[in-house]
Chain A
Amino acid sequence: MLTTLFRIIKYGFLGFWRNGWLSTATLSIIVLALLVFEGLMIFNVLTKTALEAIQDKIDISVYFKIDTPEDDILQIKKSLESLAEVKSIEYISRDQALEIFRQRHADDPTIAQSLKELKENPLLASLNIKAHNPKDYVTIADYLDKTHSKIWFEKVTYAQNAVVIERLGKIIDTAEKGGFVLIVFLALIAVLVTFNTIRLAIYSSREEIGIMRLVGASNSFIRGPYVVEGIIYGLLAGVLSVIIAAPIVYFVSPYIKIFISEMNLWSYFTSNLIGILGYQLLLGVALGVISSTIAIRKYLRI
């Protein structure tokens, strides 16, 4: 049993080594397929981060009239928090608003000067409301429109931004769905190409397989080395694809940061390296083993 296992592994390595060119060609195709997977993984992270960043920028702000008592504002905040659609509410008092304004314009002496000349704080207290889903802003806006506390509202930003928010919501939705379809489509192509490549490699040794059967080899003894070869393909391709991807990610990372400031692709890549490598190895080995097992089946009928 152990001798047989040893022989199967030995022949797996020998087959890989002696069919040098064929092995290299097959290996490169699997590396390409795995690079596609890796690209898809990164693409997925990018769109997710980008969409989250956009979502995070959407909110509704309610500005209160200057003489609104703070207790009433907090009351409204509490009632809003009871809505299921609301993710978070930030209360910014008039003093805080002033402080933020000051900090933002600390470098601008004219504004600092003009602020000093004002006797009273001109800024309004506000509530910044964020929803779980961009679609929920309509509901929240409706609620704000109907509430009896409306008398205290100076302005609600939703009215001006409604069209933009709605459109962004739709874009985010389509991007998520489209991304998913694209990923499934490309992944399918990568799987099929890999399967076909391994099938061709095994097709080229169909006569050998027949001879082995006629000499009295059992199916598992014939299949074994091909499965081992599949594992070797998978492991090598997994490592190679990560090695090839690393410099690409390193160079692309700064450009990505221009578009999505929240995304540091290189640090994402390095901190998730083990996970990515693990995924790639698993995918590679699974592709190699499953393809070989299926491809060899019909030549074992002799």
Chain B
Amino acid sequence: MVIFQNVSKIYNSNAHQSIALEDATFTINPKEFVSIVGKSGAGKSTIVKLLIGEERPSKGRVVFSSYDVNKLKHKDLPQLRRRIGVIFQDFRLLHNKTAFENVAFALEVAGRLEKDIKKFVPQALEMVGLKDKTSNFPKELSGGEKQRVAIARAMINHPDVIVADEPTGNLDPMNTWEIIKLLQKINELGTTIILATHNKDIINYLDHRVISLENGRITRDEEKGKYILM
């Protein structure tokens, strides 16, 4: 369960204000697959950053299951982040760790035992189709493969929610569809997916709930939404 309640985010820089998000209110229920759409700079990434506590809202309240995100202390943020899997446009893999170690890292930070890691990490890598690339470093993987490592890392802790911020932005169409299908599969297994994207084809194909953003404001929130050009 994710709740945004009248959330605004305003960046102040030398007497110059820029509004990233204005008075956003929505609720995302467990097991939903929600897309957040809008042009670059519409506020999609801001929503992601607010949810994982990378940024704090200027106004309003962000709630994730039992966490009041904007009231969490800095040292409690890791607890929250272990329950939300995040996938980024630029993959954000640890470049001096292998695919296996990148996925294992998410378990290690949670203090999981070595025998769990040996069991779960290969399973996750197999699910994303990278069984043969476990000991490759990110620089030896293609864009699509990197993103699949990132997905394996995001789902390894069995999070309640996976947030994907433009996960296909750097990928070719083939890989794009594979990533989207993976996300659908994870959603079918019971994980909430929040997908931020500006790819029209994906939205129209998914046929799920769509929240549209424009200049930091929510303009539409529809079940079975379509991407509408603004």
Binding site for B on A (CB under 8 A): 3-4, 7, 14-15, 18-19, 207-208, 211-219, 221, 301-302
> Judging by beta carbons under 8 Å apart, are B54 and A302 in contact?
yes
The 6 closest A-B pairs by CB, nearest first: A216-B81, A216-B82, A217-B109, A18-B96, A218-B78, A211-B92
- In the assembled complex, the Cα of A190 lies from the Cα of B93 at a distance in Å of 35
Contacts of A15 in B (CB 8 A): 96
Pick out which of these stretches binds chain A: B26-34, B110-118, B182-190: B110-118
- In the assembled complex, the Cα of A14 lies from the Cα of B105 at a distance in Å of 14
Binding site for A on B (CB under 8 A): 52, 54, 74-75, 77-82, 86, 92-97, 105-106, 108-111, 113-114, 153, 157
Nearest CB on A from B196, distance (A): 15
Cβ-defined partner of B86 (8 Å) among A3, A7, A19, A214: A214
> Judging by beta carbons under 8 Å apart, are B110 and A4 in contact?
no
Given A19-B96, A208-B95, A302-B54: A215 and B111 interface contact (C-beta under 8 Å): no
> Judging by beta carbons under 8 Å apart, are A215 and B81 in contact?
yes
> Judging by beta carbons under 8 Å apart, are B109 and A212 in contact?
yes
Residue on B with the closest CB to A18?
A: B96
Q: Would you list 13 pairs from A and B whose C-beta atoms are within 8 A, ordered by A residue?
A: A3-B111, A4-B108, A4-B111, A7-B108, A208-B96, A212-B105, A216-B79, A216-B109, A218-B109, A219-B75, A221-B108, A221-B109, A302-B54
Nearest CB on B from A112, distance (A): 82
> Judging by beta carbons under 8 Å apart, are A214 and B111 in contact?
no
- In the assembled complex, the Cα of A32 lies from the Cα of B108 at a distance in Å of 37
Residue on B with the closest CB to A7?
A: B108
Contacts of A207 in B (CB 8 A): 92
Given A218-B75, A302-B54: A212 and B94 interface contact (C-beta under 8 Å): yes
Contacts of B54 in A (CB 8 A): 214, 302
Contacts of B74 in A (CB 8 A): 301
> Judging by beta carbons under 8 Å apart, are B109 and A214 in contact?
no
Nearest CB on A from B74, distance (A): 8
Contacts of B75 in A (CB 8 A): 218-219
> Judging by beta carbons under 8 Å apart, are A216 and B110 in contact?
yes
> Judging by beta carbons under 8 Å apart, are A208 and B94 in contact?
yes
- In the assembled complex, the Cα of A213 lies from the Cα of B106 at a distance in Å of 10
> Judging by beta carbons under 8 Å apart, are A215 and B106 in contact?
yes
> Judging by beta carbons under 8 Å apart, are B94 and A216 in contact?
no
- In the assembled complex, the Cα of A217 lies from the Cα of B78 at a distance in Å of 6
Contacts of B96 in A (CB 8 A): 14-15, 18-19, 208
Residue on A with the closest CB to B96?
A: A18
> Judging by beta carbons under 8 Å apart, are A216 and B92 in contact?
no
Residue on B with the closest CB to A19?
A: B96
> Judging by beta carbons under 8 Å apart, are B108 and A216 in contact?
no
Contacts of A7 in B (CB 8 A): 108
Residue on A with the closest CB to B94?
A: A208
Nearest CB on B from A220, distance (A): 9
- In the assembled complex, the Cα of A212 lies from the Cα of B79 at a distance in Å of 13
Name 18 extra pairs, CB < 8 A, besides A18-B96, A216-B78: A4-B108, A4-B111, A7-B108, A208-B94, A208-B95, A208-B96, A212-B105, A213-B77, A213-B78, A214-B86, A215-B81, A215-B105, A215-B106, A216-B79, A216-B82, A216-B109, A217-B78, A221-B108
Contacts of A208 in B (CB 8 A): 94-96
- In the assembled complex, the Cα of A211 lies from the Cα of B110 at a distance in Å of 15
Contacts of A302 in B (CB 8 A): 54
Contacts of A213 in B (CB 8 A): 77-78, 81
- In the assembled complex, the Cα of A215 lies from the Cα of B113 at a distance in Å of 17
Contacts of B97 in A (CB 8 A): 14
Contacts of B52 in A (CB 8 A): 214
Cβ-defined partner of A215 (8 Å) among B79, B95, B153: B153
Residue of A4, A207, A218 with most partner-chain B CB within 10 A? A218
> Judging by beta carbons under 8 Å apart, are A211 and B106 in contact?
no
- In the assembled complex, the Cα of A3 lies from the Cα of B94 at a distance in Å of 21
